[in-house]
Structure 1
Amino acid sequence: MSLSGTTNRYGSLAQAFHWLTALLVLIAFLVSEGGPPTRVYSEARASTLLLHESLGFTVFWLLVLRLIWRLFDRVPDAPPMPAWMDVASKVTHWALYALLFAVPATAMLGAWFGGHPVTVYGFGAIGPFFGPWDAGASLADIHGTLGDIILWLAGLHAAAAIFHHVFLRDRVLSQMLPGSLVQRGEMPGRQ
């Protein structure tokens, strides 16, 4: 399979960005317990916080690379669908991109405004550059809410892809699956 996309499929690099981002967001969500800063930044949760912050940092940079790649890569042609579905698809994709930026950004700003450093991959602390201010707790709350929203929106995104596959019988789902799944015939009867 080619790194670049074609008229029918996303390329392997775009697929890798998609699935790796989805996996890392899910893991970051599962390991986060949230709660008041005294619990989040406690010694007992230090390793979980380090993992969560590192995953968020990785998701942020994967998004940057993904958007740069998207500038140069071919996006597959959408199968025929009603205009409202096309608009809903575009709005959902761009909302997911915005959330993939906003969730890590609010986490970093919330930590720094709260007077806490952000530690990534155990290589040392970044910041805090200011604070502690009350805005840190508000940003942390926003971060948690946006984290919930991204999971719900990603679930809706996945449900829509499955709907396209099962009921509309088009290639929306198969164009983002690795080629080996499609080539082995696990996606029969699809365009």
Structure 2
Amino acid sequence: MKSSVTSYGSIAQFLHWCTAIVVLVTFMYGPGGHEQRVYSAAHDFDRQLHETLGLCVFALTVIRLLWRAFDTRPETPPMSRWMAVMAATVQWLLYLLLLALPLTAISGAWLEGHPLTLIGGHEIPSLLSTSHAVGSAISSLHTWLGDAIMWLAGFHAFAAIVHHVFLKDDVLVGMLPRWFPTGRARTGR
């Protein structure tokens, strides 16, 4: 369950892939557009699903960071210094975005005067005073950050594939479950 010197453990892998899937689905169900469109009756289900999954992203990220604090990390395979710095930078930017996205969504909605509405119609009322202009600006930032995380996650995935296919190291394999056919036999696992 815990990570080893060569591979992430099953808990870290589960949290990683669960977060990736939830972020992708959340992005796909984001109603997008101006405030009247987002809060229209026609997009009510999409918004409720988006807001519910967004809170799940936040919870998963907090759990991941707590687990990361106690779990060991696999050794980084030999790579150039610029690659190691880039990998660390991308990882921390992803964590930052995973926290910033839900927080900007919540604060933007509340400042615009909207409660969070979860699946099933459960509402979380605003804990902030209404400031529509600030809320609108934060909601716009949220949209921009949503696009940014998709680009950064795509770059992260592309880099993992480059490591696997061209550099032939275990960067990608270390985050894949044991049952996934990845060529683990090549490394003796």
TM-score normalised per structure 2: 0.94
Q: Note the C-alpha offset of 1:190.
A: 4.4
Structure 2 letter corresponding to 1:103: L
8 Å CA contact 1:57–1:120 kept in 2: the answer is: no
CA-based RMSD: 1.4
The count of aligned residue pairs is: 187
8 Å CA contact 1:169–1:189 kept in 2: the answer is: no
TM-score normalised per structure 1: 0.93
1:125 matched to which residue of 2? 123
1:162 matched to which residue of 2? 161
Q: How does 1:1-191 map to 2 (within 5 A)?
A: 3-122=1-120, 124-129=122-127, 130-181=129-180, 186-187=183-184, 189-190=186-187
Separation in 2 of the partners of 1:189 and 1:166?
13
Which structure 1 residue ranges, 4+ long, deviate > 3 Å from structure 2?
185-191
Further displaced range: 154-163 or 123-132: 123-132
Further displaced range: 117-126 or 173-182: 117-126
Question: How high is the sequence identity, in percent, across the aligned residues?
Answer: 45
Separation in 2 of the partners of 1:190 and 1:82?
21
Show structure 1 runs of 5+ residues with no match.
Answer: none
Separation in 2 of the partners of 1:97 and 1:77?
20
Show structure 2 runs of 5+ residues with no match.
Answer: none
Q: Note the C-alpha offset of 1:180.
A: 1.4
Q: Note the C-alpha offset of 1:33.
A: 3.0
Separation in 1 of the partners of 2:28 and 2:184?
30
Separation in 2 of the partners of 1:148 and 1:188?
37
